[in-house]
Chains A and B, each alone.
Chain A
Amino acid sequence: MSDDRAYAISAANLDVLERNLDYLANNIGEVDVRVEDVNQKVNKVSEEVKTINSNIRDLINEIRETTILTNAKQSISLAQDEINKKYGHYDNIRRKISGLFQAIEVGSIDKKTIKSLKENALVDTPDYWLSSAFVAICAWLNDNKEESISALKDAIKKDDEKTSLFFSLINLKFDRYASSFMWLKRYLDMQDASKMENKIVPLLDSLTGGIFNEEEKEYFLNKITLWTNELDSKSNYKNIQINRWIDFLVFLLGEKNYDEYYYIKNFTNKYADINRLTNINVSQRNIYYYFVEAINEKEEINLNKKDQVDKIINLLIYNYENDELDLRKDIAKNQFIIDENGNTTKAKEKFKMSEFAYLKNTDFYSILTNIVLQNNELKPSINTKKLSLSLLKDLINNSYEHLNENVLDNMNIMIKINNFTGSTIDGKNEKELVDSLYQTIDKETRLDIESVKLFDVKMIFTLIFGFVCSIILYLMDMSIISVLIVLATIVMLIYSFYANYKVRSEKIQKREQRKQEERNILLNVIAEIVDFRFIVKDGIEIKNKTTTLLKTLDYKNYIKTNNDRNITIEKDNDNFVKPNNELFDEEEKDTNKLNPPKWNLEPPYENVRTVIR
């Protein structure tokens, strides 16, 4: 009975316990589900926070970029307003000049119109050199020599360089070569090789474009030689350009990390040097092909002489006003920010490439380097770029030498694989190194292998013990046991011998395996060293090819010869060159029609020094 009760109680208790456990288990399960749920929610919240964070960051960036863009647009607008306010009248006179030339070309202008144009010009822009130049041209076209000379003097007083260059081109436009040369000479004589304005660029374009005659060309080329000689004698100017070219050549090499020398890195002492030299030499082709492409580049448009002169006149009057330069620089900077969607870093990089257009004074070498390297707004012709490259060839080669001077020809490379050390210069001594490696391993493992004797002390004792026992047993007339002992001893000896042999063989095998592994490492190290030397050798060959290519450049090859002239010299006026323009001849009879006079627009001063500026 008591047993039954005990059983009933215990059964009941167990049932309760079981139910409670089930309940607990369910609760735990529920808690688990809730925890899981909370976990998922936490994860979700975490993801959402991340997304919000990223959205906020994007928003901040967007706001920042939008603010930068808005500021850039505002700055452009302000700068443009200021240009219009301060120099808007410049544009007025520029347009008048362009319009006048176009009207002359189509024959749709008469003396009266020219007279009225002239009258307004000085009133509108009294301080602008181009106004005086415009008056001089108008007076010339109206055959008023006195007024023309007076206006020329005024223009020279305001800006001698621009006036001289401008009238050199105007005379070219009207085929008056003798006068053009006088103005050109005047302009070139004013130039200082260490302090030049970048308006020399369109003049170089004129030179390479072949719009000058032989006399002008020779004079210009002599001047270029004088300028380069002068700068060559002052090392600081050269050094600045050498450093600029080194920077550019390094940029061409690119930020490569060759890093394919796993074995050199881990088993030699020269990884840093080898990697640096490899990175320099592996990209030498970039430099070579840069120059090949620059030399092979073809002029997209071949303008005739007239169009070239017009283009250069336009460039001169629209692009080279120092007064406006700062504001125009501001506009260009902000335009790059807009183009790059507010990315100021990229905008700065791009601006740097066109900064040259906004420099006021710099040296001649600097101008040549800028012509080649900068994607500037002045857009020099392809031939001008090639001419500049030719004039800079020694300087570039000099920079190239500096860049490669760290090549170590006889760098001894130490190889260390575990306890083996060896050295090589170029991997030629592969066999000696492998032999030396084997010897090192042999030497290192010999004692260990030899320590395993095939017939050791234990075996001698076994032999003696077996021999003594078998004799004793034999003498005791227990010959069968004696024979068994002998057999057991032999078996034991054979076993021990085999065990020793096995251990020794394993050691030998391990040694051979190690030899093979370390040989593979060594051969890989050697292969990498040979390849490194190969890359350096190849790099040097390419470098020599580049140097030779640059040396062969001759600036004379990029100067076109002007063969399209038909010059007639009037005998009654030594300086007069009759315009090769039928328009003038046809309209000569009409006194009110435009008729450029026989006298020329020449410099009113013989010597540039006579002008007080």
Chain B
Amino acid sequence: MTYYEWVSYIDELKTKPITDDVIKKINTYNFDFPPEVMVRLEDHLLRVIFDKLGTIRDELDTEIDKVNSPQELTLLINKIKSTIKDVFKIQKVKSFDTALLNELKGDIERYVDDYTTTIKRRYAAVKSSDYAMILNNLNLMEER
């Protein structure tokens, strides 16, 4: 695959889930690009990840006020969790170097903290049992 094809493929991941097949495709491909080009390709992958995180963050910002019950909140949280899991799959890509991955992890942690804070703030007034359930469902830190 040419560089153009790889960039297009990675860009499409913005709106698609990062499945095991995607990871397999990336990992089994024998990249023959010079190191600088590989760094550029990794940048595209990172961009996709941050785009996904940004999208879910925007969605959370707009959806959080529409939530009217703990059940709806659970659904929303599950959606966030699923996207975050999706994003974390990128760790399985072998071509990442440690520094980039660590940087990514730090950023994801900050995003997750933001989500948690937003949800806590929004539902600070919810009765304690619901709140406990929300936090239970959230479980994002443990997932990490």
- A interface residues with partner B (beta carbon < 8 Å): 426-428, 430-431, 520, 523-524, 526-528, 530-531, 534
User: A427-B4, A430-B2 are known contacts. Are A523 and B37 too (CB-CB below 8 A)?
Assistant: yes
Closest beta carbon of chain A to B36's beta carbon, Å? 6
Q: Are B7 and A534 in contact (CB under 8 A)?
A: yes
For residue A531, which residues in chain B have a CB less than 8 angstroms away from its CB? 7, 40
- Cross-chain contact B3 with A523 (CB below 8 angstroms): yes
Contact A430-B34, Cβ < 8 Å, known A527-B40, A531-B40, A534-B11: no
Q: Tell me the complex Cα distance, A534–B44, Å.
A: 10
Query: Which residue in chain B gives the minimum CB-CB distance to A432?
Result: B2
Q: Give bound CA distance, A411 to B3, whole Å.
A: 19
- Contacting residues of chain B (85-117) with chain A, CB-CB under 8 angstroms: none
Distance A391 CA – B40 CA, assembled complex (angstroms): 43
- Residue in A520, A524, A530 whose beta carbon sits within 8 Å of that of B4 in the complex: A530
Question: Counting CB contacts under 8 A, is B33 at the interface?
Answer: yes
Which residues of chain A are near B41, meaning CB under 8 Å? 527
Given contacts A426-B4, A428-B4, contact A524 B11 (CB under 8 A): no
Q: Bits for B108-131, please: 1 = Cβ < 8 Å to A, else 0.
A: 000000000000000000000000
Q: Which residues of A contact B36 (CB under 8 A)?
A: 524, 527
A427 to B33, CA, bound (A): 14
Q: Is the interface of B mostly helix, strand, loop or mixed?
A: helix
Best-buried of B3, B11, B40, B44 by chain A (most CB within 10 Å): B3
Cβ distance A550 to chain B, nearest Cβ, rounded Å? 18
- Tell me whether B3 and A527 are in contact (CB under 8 A): yes
**Residue from A428, A431, A527 in contact with B37 in the complex, judged by beta carbons closer than 8 Å:** A527
Question: In the complex the two chains form, is B2's CB within 8 Å of A428's CB?
Answer: yes
Give Cα distance in the complex from A427 to B3, angstroms: 8
CB–CB A526/B11 < 8 A: no
A523 to B3 CA separation, bound complex (whole angstroms): 8
* Distance in angstroms between the alpha carbons of A530 and B37 in the assembled complex: 11
A520 is contacted by which of B2, B7, B34 (Cβ under 8 Å)?
B34
Known: A427-B2, A430-B3, A531-B40. 12 other contacts (CB 8 A): A430-B2, A431-B2, A523-B34, A524-B36, A524-B37, A526-B2, A526-B3, A527-B3, A527-B37, A527-B40, A530-B4, A531-B7
Contact surface of B with A, Cβ cutoff 8 Å: 2-4, 7, 11, 33-34, 36-37, 40-41, 44
> What residue of chain A has the Cβ atom nearest to residue B39's Cβ?
A527
Please, which residues of chain B bring their CB within 8 A of the CB of A527?
A: 3, 33, 36-37, 40-41
A558 to B36 alpha-carbon distance, docked (Å): 50
A530 touches B34 (CB 8 A): no
**Chain B CB within 10 A, most for which of A430, A431, A524, A527:** A527
Chain A residues within an 8 Å CB radius of B44: 534
* Contact partners of B4 in chain A: CB under 8 A: 426-428, 430, 526, 530
Least CB distance from B64 to A in Å reads 15
Complex formed: what's the CA distance from A431 to B2 in Å?
7
A412 to chain B, nearest CB (A): 16
Task: State in angstroms the CA–CA spacing of A217 and B95 once bound together.
Answer: 63
Measured between beta carbons, the chain A residues less than 8 angstroms from B3 are 427, 430, 523, 526-527, 530
A-B contact pairs, 29 of them (CB 8 A): A427-B2, A427-B3, A427-B4, A428-B2, A428-B4, A430-B2, A430-B4, A431-B2, A520-B34, A523-B3, A523-B33, A523-B34, A523-B37, A524-B36, A524-B37, A526-B2, A526-B4, A527-B3, A527-B33, A527-B37, A527-B40, A527-B41, A530-B3, A530-B7, A531-B7, A531-B40, A534-B7, A534-B11, A534-B44
What residues on A are CB-neighbors of B34 within 8 Å? Answer: 520, 523-524
Q: Which residue of B lies closest to A528 (CB)?
A: B40
What CA separation (Å) do A523 and B41 show in the bound complex? Answer: 12
Most buried by A among B2, B7, B11, B44: B2
- When C-beta atoms are compared, the residue in chain A nearest to B37 turns out to be A527
Q: How far is the CA of A524 from the CA of B34 in the complex (A)?
A: 8
User: Given the complex of chains A and B, what is the CA–CA distance between A531 and B3 in angstroms?
Assistant: 10
* Bound Cα distance A524, B40 (Å): 9
Nearest Cβ in chain A — how far from B110, in angstroms?
A: 19
In this complex, what residue of A is CB-closest to B41?
A: A527
Cβ of A512 to closest chain B Cβ, rounded Å: 15
User: Which of A427, A430, A526, A530 gathers the greatest number of chain B CB atoms within 10 Å?
Assistant: A530
B37 to chain A, nearest CB (A): 4
Closest to B40 in A: A527
Q: How far is B37's CA from A172's CA once the two chains are assembled, in angstroms?
A: 69
CA distance A196 to B11 in the complex (A): 51
CB distance from B69 to the nearest CB of A (A): 26
Shortest C-beta distance, B58 to chain A (Å), equals 10
A426 to B5 Cα, complex, angstroms: 11
Least Cβ distance of B11 to chain A in Å?
7
Shortest distance in angstroms between A285's beta carbon and chain B's nearest beta carbon? Answer: 11
Q: CA–CA, A520 to B32, complex, Å?
A: 10
CA distance A468 to B41 in the complex (A): 67
Q: What separation, in Å, do the CA atoms of A311 and B74 have in the docked complex?
A: 47
A427 closest partner in B (C-beta): B4
CB distance from A604 to the nearest CB of B (A): 53
How many angstroms between the C-alpha atoms of A427 and B40 in the bound complex?
14
CA distance A358 to B37 in the complex (A): 55
B contact residues around A430 at 8 Å (CB): 2-4
Closest approach, in angstroms, between the C-beta of A438 and any C-beta of chain B?
14
CB neighbours of B33 from chain A (8 A)? 523, 527
Closest 8 CB pairs of A and B: A430-B2, A520-B34, A527-B37, A427-B4, A527-B3, A530-B4, A428-B4, A527-B40
Residue of A nearest to B36 (CB): A524
A428 neighbours in B (Cβ, 8 Å):
2, 4
Q: How long is the Cα–Cα vector from A430 to B41 in the complex, in angstroms?
A: 15
Inter-chain contacts of A524 with B (CB < 8 A): 34, 36-37
Which residues of chain B are near A427, meaning CB under 8 Å?
2-4
CA distance A523 to B32 in the complex (A): 10
A296 to chain B: closest CB distance in Å? 10
What's the least CB distance linking A362 to chain B, in Å?
38
